Structure 1
Amino acid sequence: MKTLRVLLTVVSVLLPAAAAAQDFPAKPIKLIVPFPPGGPNDIIARVVGQRMSEIAKQPVVIDNRGGQAGVLGTDAIAKAAPDGYTIGIVSASALVINPTMEKVPYDVAKDFAPVTLVTTVPEMLVVASNVPAGDMKELIALAKAQPGKLNFASAGVGGMPHLAGELLKLTASIDIVHVPYRGAAPAINDLLGQQVQMAFLDLPVLLPHIKAGTLRPIALGAPKRAPTSPDVPTTAEVGMPDLLIENWYGMIAPAGTPEAIVNTLNRLANEAMNDPQVRQKLADQGLTVAGDTSGHFRDYIGSETKKWARVIKAANLASAK
């Protein structure tokens, strides 16, 4: 009798959850973007979210919550009800870099249910036009001949372009000096003005300058060449396979979201990303569509955390937590 009561209790708990998962989504989904409108995170959310809305026949409402390099909006996702109706598209900085460098109000491993990797953005190494190096071999030789004399720009301390430069230092065993800027635009301006010698930056912001011949591309930190820059070799092709550097954006839900709902969100997102128009819109922004399982995305977050934690430690960038 006691066993029967236990079984009935379990069934009474599971049945409503199963029914809710089966009916999901039955109302609008809030998609949090932890950055202001107009940036890559926002563009990705709006393009993918619009197609998800059409597939699910429910509105997907974008909620921009900028602040603290994505931390505030990401924390809002962690604290939302775990019912699938509040999710987010967040960047590597929010899930990997910031939690490794400083204290944040959420625990990535405990507070989120990964849904899918959405897009990747390759980082490209470029040099100013006056730098006497046409390829990676010549650039490394130049840096080794002048230790501490060459500078690399970034879009800010702790961002992916900064860590990319630090990884280059480790991988090539060279001494180059970091010069942080408040965003990619001023960093590019000083590259064009030959105030700094090199930088790893998101491919989309560099394309106009590469096509104009005002910045010289050295290598792309991606597994394969970019269709928009087919003549630029990858870091693996120039003999540095460990110098794989891609920014990325992924979809997450609060921890505790039922697995069936996470699976539904994964299906909706992947179906949206496989739409030819969605893929083209994202490709036009220099973004590579990813899409995977929730389990693979969880493993990817873990591997990226280990990779960049090593770089952050070597560069002494972590603050006391």
Structure 2
Amino acid sequence: MQRRQLMALAAASAATAAAPAWAQAWPSRPIRLIVPFAPGGTTDIIARVVAEPLGRVLGRPVVVDNKGGAGGAIGAQELARAAPDGYTLGMGTASTTAANPAINKKVGYDPVADFAPIVNIAATPNVLAVNPAVPAKDYAAFVALIKREPGKYSYASPGTGSIGHLQMELFKSLAGLFITHIPYRGAGPALNDVVAGQVPIIFDNVPSALPFIQGGKLAPIVVASSARLKELPATPTFAEVGLEQVNRMAYYGILAPKGTPAAIVEQINAAMLKVLGEPVVKKRIEDTGSIVIGNSPQAFAQQIRDELAVYQRVVARQKLSI
């Protein structure tokens, strides 16, 4: 009997030692939040707005780690390969979970199967803007200029397969325009070059482009939004210029690697909803031109599936490829 008891105790001890780290007190160390784009873009801005208060609610620091490149694919790949223990999270965007995988069959991850969606933080409109040196400051003049000199102008995007790339290509195909694509490693570098006049045009998220527009360093032409923005009341939507198909807002959420325990996913979701309920955080997000969402893991997962399907149809219809 004594021998059997000792064997049982040994087995119990072994099981405890082999138990996954998440089964113990989580979190017990800092959490890394991968931003799959360079600093300065909307994804980076929103990640940094929520990182500190999220860490405060969870009781451990949340450290932002920028891993830009390949339209967000490098950072997304790193997240997909990370240990599913709750200590590595990532920002999931319309670029990394829909646009890039739709156009790039070798993106290196499955946006539906390789992640555990946690929460959609915010949605943002996009804006087509130009350097002030471009001799066109409204939509009609812009289209006339490009058609008059096809091939002369180029546009910057946060990267091949980014939402800025695919939405611009959709716009070009519908409007019958020829503008050369110049991809960057994120919205920050792309914006810097457009502001500096190295590239004349950009299709970017409102939060990262808005400070330059308000500072007179970019001129807005048209926005992808369901209605005119209070920050840009004189700028029409794509629906107003007859291209409602281009009116798709970007989203910014938090993902974990596939296999992350449901209890951790739910804990982060609850913490994030608490953070988004804080008036200061809500205002900081809304001041960028974004709309606070804050939904369930299930709702965010469905949104990702729906958005991916939309851009897969766009790629097929417009015959787009890397």
Place the TM-score, normalised by the shorter chain, in its bin.
Answer: 0.7 to 0.9
**Residue pair 1:127, 1:215 contacting (<8 A) in 2 also:** yes
**Distance in 2 of aligned mates of 1:42 and 1:200:** 17
CA RMSD of aligned residues (A): 3.4
* Residue of structure 1 aligned with 2:309, choices 301, 306, 311: 306
Deviation at 1:278, TM superposition (A): 1.2
Identity %: 32
**Distance in 2 of aligned mates of 1:177 and 1:266:** 41
Structure 1 159/78 Cα, relative in aligned 2: closer, same or farther at 3 Å?
closer
Match of 2:100 in 1: 98
**Residue pair 1:124, 1:201 contacting (<8 A) in 2 also:** yes
SS of the residue corresponding to residue 176 of structure 1 reads coil
Match of 2:65 in 1: 64
**Distance in 1 of aligned mates of 2:168 and 2:44:** 26
Given the two structures, how large is their TM-score scaled by the length of structure 2?
A: 0.76
**Distance in 1 of aligned mates of 2:219 and 2:54:** 39
**Distance in 1 of aligned mates of 2:124 and 2:286:** 10
Deviation at 1:112, TM superposition (A): 0.9
1:120 to 2:127 alignment: no
Structure 1 24/307 Cα, relative in aligned 2: closer, same or farther at 3 Å?
farther
Superposed CA offset, 1:231-272 (max 9, x none): 323223444321124333210112222333322221111211
Equivalent AA in structure 2 for residue 190 of structure 1: G
Deviation at 1:113, TM superposition (A): 0.9
User: How do 1:17-32 and structure 2 match up within 5 A?
Assistant: 25-28=26-29, 30-32=31-33
Structure 1 154/27 Cα, relative in aligned 2: closer, same or farther at 3 Å?
same
Q: Which moved more, 1:242-251 or 1:105-114?
A: 242-251
The count of aligned residue pairs is 295
Structure 1 210/26 Cα, relative in aligned 2: closer, same or farther at 3 Å?
closer
Match of 2:162 in 1: 159
**Distance in 2 of aligned mates of 1:241 and 1:274:** 32
**Residue pair 1:32, 1:73 contacting (<8 A) in 2 also:** no
* Residue of structure 1 aligned with 2:196, choices 189, 201, 206: 189
**Distance in 2 of aligned mates of 1:210 and 1:80:** 38
Match of 1:251 in 2: 254
Unaligned runs of 5+ in 1: 1-12
SS of the residue corresponding to residue 292 of structure 1 reads coil
**Distance in 1 of aligned mates of 2:44 and 2:211:** 21
Unaligned runs of 5+ in 2: 1-14, 185-189
